[in-house]
A and B are shown apart, each in its own frame.
Chain A
Amino acid sequence: MHGLSTFEPKNGFVKWLEARLPILSFAHGSFVAFPTPKNLNYWWTFGGILSFMLIAQIVTGVVLTMHYTPESTLAFGSVEKIMRDVNWGWMLRYAHSNGASMFFFAVYIHMFRGIYYGSYKSPREVLWILGVIIFLLMMATGFMGYVLPWGQMSFWGATVITNLFSAIPLVGDDITVWLWGGFSVDNPTLNRFFALHYLLPFMIVAVVALHVWALHVCGQNNPDGVEVQDIHKDCVPFTPHATMKDSVGIAFFLILYCWFIFYIPNYLGDADNYIPANPMKTPAHIVPEWYFLPYYAILRSIPNKLAGVIAMFAAIAILAFLPWLDTSKVRSGKYRPIFRIFFWIFVASGIGLGYLGAMPPEGGYVLAARILGVVYFGFFVVVLPLLGLFEKTTPVPASIADAVLARTGSASSVAASAASAPQTKG
């Protein structure tokens, strides 16, 4: 998309640089003049929040690495050393461990927002799939990071999850031994998990760059789900409008994040992880971090191990097919009354599965997980394909400007904004 203003270098050095590497005009076009639909609500600030969290995790993580020892007899002690003796080490470590939770919390909201407003639909399929890849990389990174303190839950979580690969027919056991670097989770496993935990965030940065690139090709979706027709009527410049709105989102999100860091830093963690890893002693309940619980519930609800593993991975992989599973011509859930009901049932099934994932896999919990698992998959393979054929949607506005006009009901303000839109105001 073309910007709302143009970048005209006046400074001699800037002109010189522009002729050789037009990075300043690129940055200006992408983050200053970039046209942003003016009807975006606060759910759209989670992209900015996630960028902030990614940087926060990398910065805290790099500093923690300077004090951490990835060796199975020293790792636990080195984390305690960080907590007790490193200056501000407790803050770095709590910021990093709770940061992972905040990152996932934000990404789940970001994904639910995308589903509600149909942000995966043409022409944003590639943008969406890149998002699913980021989500997968995040899960791998989060899982391996949780192993590093080498507490009881680190060790046994790693044992349970790596054992999933042994369900693969014929080569499963060989693959598991290859992943471990031995015949059980041990020092080689910790070493490689550490190496990968340091590598994957930079791969996430790379895919995020592609994600943002794809976003800037198609432009942002918006709550009314209609494409931008006239950037001067429908859009505002990214800076200062979206920058300020994202800043509001980030500031309020920081309050939540810091509440966890400073007042309830161990709320989301498992107490067992303050016990050093002991291969001879299995904890009573092996529970992953909260952000994996819905998938863990699906895994355990199926008695056959291989089928359980397939169902668990399918629950994530199916997200990538969303652009083609949803057959509706109308993009935004705002104009899809039946979809909205199913959307909230889907959200509830995800939360319910999360709760069940934390409970012991017995009796009524398993049955409940099976029912909610069917609801989860049913949303993708039954509800979304059929809704597009049968649902009576409500009238979609002709343009973003029309939608805003219908809501605010004042023609004068629209006219005023249309006239002033090209300028950036401070």
Chain B
Amino acid sequence: MAFTRKIGFVAAAVFAAVAIASPVLRAEEPPGFAEAPSPERQNWSFSGFFGTFDKPQLQRGFKVYKEVCSNCHELRIPFRTLGQPGGPGFSEDQVKALAATYTIHDGPNLAGDMFDRPGRASDYFPPPFPNPEAAAAALGAVPPEMSLIAKSIKFERGFPNFVFDALPIPGLGIYQEVGPDLIYAILHGYTKEDDPNWNLYFPGHKIAMAKPLADGQVDYTDGAPTTLSQYSKDVAAFLAWAAEPTLEVRKRVGLRVMLFLFLLAGLVYFAKKRVWSDVAH
């Protein structure tokens, strides 16, 4: 059809014009602007059409979070989520036992007093500081709450990458893991030995969090290598799950929905052809 061909031409022309113009216009950026390199795209078990979380990886990531990150960062999710389907796969007893190791400030009771009690599965992870001010006073800055961090951080994809990111091309498109990639990169970005607050991938390079992870810091019981690379991969995967615990069911349902829709569209198309078969149009 001539019409659709023309749209193709226009799309190609716009694409080419932006591709040529973009770096030229970009060059006008103010001098001294510290451009951080784009993190590399990692392989994640939860990416792509059939992505699912790797349970042992989430359990390792949780261990890293519990032993390292949780000293400063709040994670506002209930303990029970750790045992939900599509997550790290802890058993109900494991979740209950884990929750009981935390002390929850509760109340008031019938006498009007506040009291401490062991945690239950329905409780939320208690924050490491009573309030953001206390965190800022102790650490110099408020560490971000981590339940959504894998979805709330980003880096510029630029043209034409952002176009391909949306397309159903495995490996190249369906790019929804910008956050985990950036977490992984930042944990690897402490490249200046003399400055623990300098990070290659952090916007502006100055990061309040000093290098948090190093080789051998956390013990793994499942034989996975105890390296910085493995830790950052595992904790990034854990945070990706924490940010979107419904990812597995979404992709599973999505696949069925897509198969159904292709079938429906095909049937409706041929029914339409039949209806119009005796009409010149």
Contacts and interface: CB of A to CB of B under 8 A. Distances in A.
A264 B174 contact: yes
Given A274-B148, A416-B278, A248 B257 contact: no
A362 interface: yes
Interface in A337-354: 344, 347-348, 351-352
B153 interface: yes
B134 interface: no
Contact of B250 (A80, A90, A355, A425): A90
B21 interface: yes
B114 interface: no
Nearest to A413: B280
Contacts of A84: 77, 81, 245-246
Contact of A261 (B254, B255, B276): B254
A244 B276 contact: yes
Interface string A241-265: 1001101100110110011011111
A38 B279 CA distance: 8
Nearest to B30: A362
A425 B275 contact: yes
Nearest to B21: A368
B52 to A, nearest CB: 14
A364 B258 CA distance: 42
B262 interface: yes
B110 interface: no
Interface in A219-259: 236, 240-241, 244-245, 247-248, 251-252, 254-255, 258-259
Interface residues of B, number: 60
B148 A362 contact: no
Contacts of A365: 25, 28
Nearest to A41: B3
B14 A248 contact: no
B254 A241 contact: no
Interface in B159-181: 159, 165-166, 168, 174-176, 178-179
A271 B279 CA distance: 50
Nearest to A94: B250
Contacts of B210: none
A262 B250 contact: yes
B259 to A, nearest CB: 11
Contact of B279 (A80, A236, A272, A405): A236
Contacts of B179: 271
B170 to A, nearest CB: 11
Contact of A240 (B6, B30, B251, B275): B275
A27 B226 CA distance: 70
* Best-buried of B243, B272, B281 by chain A (most CB within 10 Å): B281
Given A241-B276, A416-B278, 20 more contacts: A90-B250, A91-B250, A244-B272, A247-B268, A251-B265, A251-B269, A255-B265, A258-B261, A262-B251, A263-B254, A264-B174, A271-B154, A274-B151, A284-B203, A344-B9, A348-B17, A352-B14, A364-B24, A414-B280, A417-B278
5 contacts: A83-B244, A247-B272, A272-B154, A284-B203, A364-B27
Contacts of B17: 348, 352
Given A38-B281, A271-B178, A274-B151, A241 B275 contact: yes
B176 A267 contact: yes
A262 B25 contact: no
A344 B280 CA distance: 29
A254 B265 CA distance: 9
Contact of A263 (B10, B18, B151, B251): B251
A267 B165 contact: yes
A258 B258 contact: yes
